[in-house]
Amino acid sequence: MDFYTYTLPNGIRGIHRQVRSKVAHCALAVNAGSRDELPSEHGLAHFTEHGFFKGTTHRKAFQVNCRLENLGGELNAYTTKEDTTIHSTFLRSDFSKAVELIADVAFNSTFPDKELAKERDVIIDEINTYKDAPTEMLFDTFEDMIFEGSDLGHNILGRKSSLARFDSESIKEFRRRTHTTDQMVFSSTGNFSPAVAEQVARRYLAEQEASVRGYDRVAPPTHTPFFKSVAKHTHQTHCIVGNRAYGILNPKRLALSLLINILGGPCANSRLNVLLREKRGLSYNIGAYYTPYCDSGVVFIYFSCDTDKTDLCLELIDNELRCLQTEPLSARRLSMAKKQFIAQLAITLDANEGCMLGLGKSLLVRDNLDTFEESCRKINAIKAEDIMEVATEIFSNNSTLMYR
């Protein structure tokens, strides 16, 4: 996988990957999410993302929404705990139009209070939707608890009461503090040369005034393991077992990613899927997940089952985790796991939009990227002892949260 990187005069970094396709993708990723909010601003990063589509100094809201859709393309955005990304998909011939539109909403949005009032109701409906989904609530509550006392320990959507306080000036002040050009990456993929990608990016993004972030994120403090059971009106028990994990810059991150894939990855032959679903028929939904942040991370195992099977599932999961900590994988099993992991990586890279977003995120956080060949070399260098060491460090003193 070949990619080209560049830096604009105002500090915005760029990355382009040329692919043979009639469809192209691009995105502006900003290293600002819910963890960059002040205590009085919870939910403001996500509210800001919604506000980008409510009109600019050049366009009304309907013109923002129709600019690419009338050409068969699309414009969208999302917010995480650490970044906000505006992204677009379009025919390759419309690349300049897409970049101009992204630049317009990112830098020229006016955030009119009349439009924000309507969007506030939309987000309240989004919050209510999450409350009706026990799985989503479980994930958010678990992260809130495991990162309690830190800027990672609150929900991205915020609360209805806090949303009521936000207005146009709140968003503008948040953007001034967090959306600085030294914290931005423009990523693109399409059937045009790196020179063209950089030229168009310079035309629409380089004119923005350079700005530098004036604060540093604070790493979350240590946490105390917990076990919590919450009564909910659900047919099944929904349960998470997990712990803190490595940040995205930690060299052990790759070994942990491989371990999570072995334990409860998306394939039917993951150890937990075989153990709980295939052999015993205890759970339809079972999987393991890892989310790295810039200075910390979280791993968790999620499953749902009939309430009277919960204790058995927890016992089987605990036994499997102990096995990974004490019994090294055989050379054959480790080799098969590596081949599977590498193949999944290759398939992911073949999906151009996901690859484009991933490259942008990597450059944003790590400021460098591994080629596919370098990633394969690092994966193949992982030893059975590395898997055991990571399993011991991560899965000792787990925390558990369940809705039952």
pLDDT bin (cut points 50, 70, 90) of residue 226 is very high
pLDDT beyond 70 at 204? yes
Taking each helix axis from N to C terminus, what angle separates 44-51 and 113-131, rounded to the nearest 10 degrees?
120
Where helices occur in 112-167 by DSSP H, the ranges are: 113-131, 134-146, 160-163
Using a pLDDT cut of 70, give the percent of the chain over it: 100
**Which of these, 56, 37, 53, lies nearest to 45 by C-alpha position?**
37
CA dihedral 373, 261, 298, 240 (to 10 degrees): 170
At 17 the pLDDT is 96
**Per-residue pLDDT tens digits for 98-153:** 999 999 999 999 999 999 999 999 999 999 988 888 888 899 999 999 999 999 99
Closest by Cα among 36, 40, 50 to 159: 40
Is pLDDT of 262 > 80? Answer: yes
Q: What is the mean pLDDT of residues 148-169?
A: 94
pLDDT at residue 131 in the model: 81
β-pair partners for 26: 88, 188
Average pLDDT over residues 179-190: 98
What pLDDT was estimated at residue 136?
86
Res 254: pLDDT? 97
Question: How many other C-beta atoms lie within 10 A of the C-beta of residue 212?
Answer: 9
What is the full DSSP assignment across 315-378? HHHHHHHHHHHHSPPPHHHHHHHHHHHHHHHHHHHHSHHHHHHHHHHHHHHHS----HHHHHHH
Q: What is the 3-state secondary structure (H, E, C) of 216-276?
A: CCCCCCCCCCCEEEECCCCCCEEEEEEEEECCCCCCCHHHHHHHHHHHHCCCCCCHHHHHH
Digit-coded pLDDT (tens) for 239-248:
999 999 999 9
Instruction: Give the DSSP H/E element, type plus range, for residue 89.
Output: strand 84-91
Q: pLDDT band at 238, cuts 50/70/90?
A: very high
Average pLDDT over residues 198-219: 97
Whether the pLDDT of residue 1 is over 80: the answer is: no
Mean pLDDT for all residues in the chain: 95
Q: How confident is the model at residue 357 (pLDDT cuts 50, 70, 90)?
A: very high
Residue 7, pLDDT score: 97
